[in-house]
Amino acid sequence: MHDHHPAGRVLGGHPDPVQRQDDLIPGGHVLSGGTKMTATGKRRGRVLTGVLALAAAAGMSVVATGTAQALPEQCPDKHFCVWEHTGYQGRFFSAPGSVANIGAYMNDRTTSYWNRTDTWITLYNDSNYGGSCLVSVPPGGSSYNVSSSVNDRMTSFRTGKFC
Enumerate domains of the chain plus CATH numbers: 9-57 (no CATH), 72-159 (2.60.20.10)
User: Residues 19-75: pLDDT tens digits?
Assistant: 333 333 433 333 333 322 233 334 444 444 443 343 333 333 222 233 356 678 889
Q: What is the pLDDT of residues 93-107, one digit of tens each?
A: 999 999 999 999 999
Task: Kindly tell me if the per-residue pLDDT of 155 is higher than 50.
Answer: yes
pTM of the entire predicted model:
0.61
Residue 109: other Cβ atoms inside 10 A = 21
* Predicted local confidence at residue 68, as pLDDT: 52
User: For 121-128, what is the mean pLDDT?
Assistant: 97
